[in-house]
Structure 1
């Protein structure tokens, strides 16, 4: 019996053909079929190879072309699971801002599938400020990674005490100053390494690009990024 973490609806889990034929362990799903239908998986569409949003062709969109001019040394390569919509918005509100910590588990299987651990990528979560941590009690990104049993390395510190990102207008997000510092003991650790930055939602790209920029400037070989939504 499955109980949806999002809406509380109970339903009998349908086994996949693989689970039936090969007696494999059933995956742990946390969303009912009704809620899953509201999600829009971006892998079903052509997406911009730079920011991951839906596009007419798999190339850099106009926004990413502008970022490329500002950050010519940074690889614009982002993958997101879902298009940002009302369900994702409500999930963010309940999880991040209302503190429903159970919802860190909502996308466990999807995160595990997409962040298959190998020696090529070191997972680096986007940090939150001390002010946000004191208010919220947790970093939503590391909470998601822990729930999905994905190992990660904290390399960055968020030194800003400005308004939280969700409270800013698009213009304010784009104009924000570099919020991150690289922890000094991690400088030698990231040298010539491939890193994968993880965030909850990619909005303008400003936050992730600041993170990529500081990591590349300190010797990372390659830095890509991943988020739940775009």
Structure 2
């Protein structure tokens, strides 16, 4: 077995289940790569998981004013620190497709509590998809065995969020439209997934479209915050 991040060989004793069912062996990180990533723990904003807050953070208060009828709830696994930025750079911008498996264990654990939810990944524009060759969110969900529904299409090919200032991100226009699958979400629980939550602008734009189709619950999730 090789580390799902650095690709170095991992030597450990296999369990009986893994010996009998070798295909059940999930990707893992080596000890050093496990230590690189900081999982979000308390205190963190109860609404968006922003580390360091014991109550609703200032950003969430601003979003609540803008979307007063949206019962916003976001969860994330890791802090968006230098280690995570390096991983996302290698995976998303250098296109190392192998890294889609880096967080399989954590993703599967999180989604084990979302069995009856409709999962939707944030889409790429057609141009961005052909440039990158894959949707990074869809890829890490598929690697973890998570089924998704295509509910949104990105209609605008804006500059990458990483190339924009915070104010430019917040001022970005609505970039999404609904697909024909959107009729399936009425009175259903929907989970919208992205790779990283920074300003929240992308997720709120996508949620704005989803909400018009009356899901019972709409929550959001990202690997990092």
Regarding TM over 0.5, the answer is: yes
Unaligned 5+ segments in structure 1 are none
- In the TM superposition, what is the alpha-carbon distance from 1:9 to its structure 2 partner? 2.8
Unaligned 5+ runs, structure 2? 19-23
Matched length: 219
- Aligned with 1:40 (options 38, 41, 58): 38
Alpha-carbon displacement from aligned partner over 1:145-190 (angstroms, at most 9, x marks no partner): 110000110100001111011211111111001111011x223211
CA deviations 1:56-111 (Å, max 9, x no partner) are 41x31111011000001112211111001222111111111111110001111111
After the TM superposition, which residues 74-223 of structure 1 pair with which residues of structure 2 at under 5 Å, given as runs?
74-116=70-112, 117-119=114-116, 121-183=117-179, 185-223=180-218
Aligned 8 A contact 1:80 1:227 in 2: yes
Give the match's secondary structure for 2:89: helix
Please tell me whether the aligned partners of residues 49 and 76 of structure 1 are also in contact (alpha carbons under 8 angstroms).
no
Instruction: Provide the alpha-carbon RMSD of the alignment.
Output: 1.7
Structure 1 residues 45-84: aligned runs within 5 Å: 45-57=42-54, 59-84=55-80
TM-aligned CA deviation for residue 46 of structure 1 = 2.0
Residues 204 and 67 (structure 1), Cα distance of their counterparts in 2 relative to 1, 3 Å cut: same
Runs of 4+ residues over 3 Å off in structure 1: 23-27
Structure 2 counterpart SS, 1:128: coil
Aligned with 2:157: secondary structure? Answer: coil
Per the TM alignment, residue 201 of structure 1 is displaced from its structure 2 partner at its CA by: 0.5
- Give the distance between the partners of 2:165 and 2:119, measured in 1 at CA: 29
Q: Report the Cα distance in structure 2 between the residues aligned to 1:46 and 1:85, rounded to whole angstroms.
A: 16
Q: Which residue of 1 aligns with 2:8?
A: 9
TM-score, length-normalised on structure 2? 0.91
